[in-house]
Homo-oligomer: A and B are copies of this chain.
Amino acid sequence: MKAVLAYSGGLDTSVCVKLLQDKYACDVVTVTVDVGVAQDELREAEEKAEKLGVVRHITIDAKEEFAREYIFRAIKANASYEGYPLSTALARPLIATKVVEVAKEEEAEALAHGATGKGNDQFRFEAVFRSLAPEMEIIAPVRELNLTRKDSIKYAKKMGIPVPVEIDKPYSVDENLWGRSIEGGILEDPSAVPPEEIYQWTKVTKEEAEDVEVEFEKGVPVALNGEKLSPVELVERMNAIAGSHGVGRIDMIEDRILGIKARENYECPAAVALIKAHKQLEHLVLTRLELKFKAAVEQEWSELVYNGLWTEPLRIDLDAFIDKTQDRVTGKVKLRLHSGSCRVVSRSSPYALYSERLASFDDVTLDQRSVEGMLRYHALQASLYQKLRKD
C-alpha cells in the first residue's frame, strides 16, 4: 500500500515514516508543505526523508497561498478562538489539502499524519482527509499505536533515526508565518509563570515606542508605512517589527476540541498587531448593527477553524458574509508599539461613517431638540415593567 505522509522533518513524523514502513508495510511518500518555515529546515527535511527510505519526497511552497487564502481570511474574520489567533489551526487544512492532492497524483491508497490522540491536529488533518478523499484510508500511527513521546524517542533510537540534542528541552514548538506555539514541560501547569527562554519572536530589542501605519484594501493589509508589500512579505515584516517591541505574547487556558483544558503559550506578533488595526478600521466604516452581528460571525468562524472544519459549508457561508462587509474596509491605521503594548492612535478611511458635524458637541447644524421624541420611546417597555413591579 502506498501512503502519503504530512512530513515536517521533526522527530514525530520521522518516526511515522519508519512505523508506516515497519508496522503498516507501506511505501511512503513524504510531503513537506512550506507555510513559513526556515529554508534550511526544508532542506533538512528532504535529506532526512531520503535517508529514511521514502519512495518520494515532495516539498511544496504554499506560503503565498497560506497568506492569501488563509491568513487574510483570518484577518477579515478578526480570528480569535478564546484569544488564540489560530496560527497552527489555520495551516493544518492547507497542509492536509496538499497531502490529498499529492496522494491523488501518486495514486496512493492511504493518507497519514503524525498527530497524537489527545490533541487538535488529528481532527484538523482528518476532517480534510475525509472530506476531500473519503475513499482513502487514514493512518495515524502515533495514535493507533498509543505512543507517548518517550516511546517515540525509544523507537527512533532503535531505528537509527537521528534524535535532536534539544530533545531534553521539554518544549514542543510549532511555527508558521502566522505564529509560534510553545507547549510542554512546566508550561503545562497553568500557575507556572513561563520562563523567558521560551520566547523567540517577541523580545524587546527597541527601547523607544514606534509607530507603524498599516494600509488596508477591502479588509486585507497591503502596505506598511506606505510601502506596498506582498502578503507574505507584509506578514513577515510585521512579525519582525511587532516582535521587536515584545508584542504578540499570548498565555492562555484553551479548550481543546476534545474538551480538555490546556495551558497554551503563543507568539503571534503580526496576528495581534494586524487584527487590532483591522478591527479599529472596521469600527470606522461598518455600521453599529454590522459590528454587533459580525462579532457573532467571527466567533463562529474562529470556532469552526479551530475545530478543523475548514471544509464545513457553514465556514464558506460565513466567508460570504464577511467578504460582503469588507468591501469598504479600506483605509489607514496607525499603531503605536512599545514594550509589549500595541494600540491604535489614528485611523482614516474614504468610507468612514464618521461625520464631524454630527459628532461634535460644538456644532449647531443639528438642533438638539430633534432627539426629544426618541427619548420618550427609548426605555418605554422598561418603564412599563418597572411600573408593574411597583403596583
Contacts and interface: CB of A to CB of B under 8 A. Distances in A.
A343 interface: yes
A172 B362 CA distance: 11
A288 interface: yes
Interface in A120-165: 122-123, 126-127, 130-132, 134, 142-144, 146-150
A188 interface: yes
Copies in the complex: 4
Given A82-B283, A346-B192, A381 B353 contact: yes
Contacts of A236: none
Interface in A324-366: 324-325, 328, 334, 338-341, 343-348, 350-356, 358-364, 366
B377 A371 contact: yes
Given A253-B354, A345-B193, A259 B288 contact: yes
Contact of A304 (B289, B303, B354): B289
Contacts of A288: 255, 259, 381
Contact of A312 (B369, B372, B381, B388): B381
Given A118-B371, A313-B382, 13 more contacts: A126-B375, A130-B379, A131-B383, A144-B369, A147-B368, A149-B361, A193-B345, A246-B341, A261-B358, A261-B359, A287-B314, A290-B314, A317-B325
Contacts of A252: 280, 283, 344
Nearest to A313: B385
A374 interface: yes
Contact of A188 (B249, B250, B356): B356
A204 B280 CA distance: 24
Given A191-B348, A369-B144, A172 B361 contact: yes
Contacts of A334: 193
B191 A283 contact: no
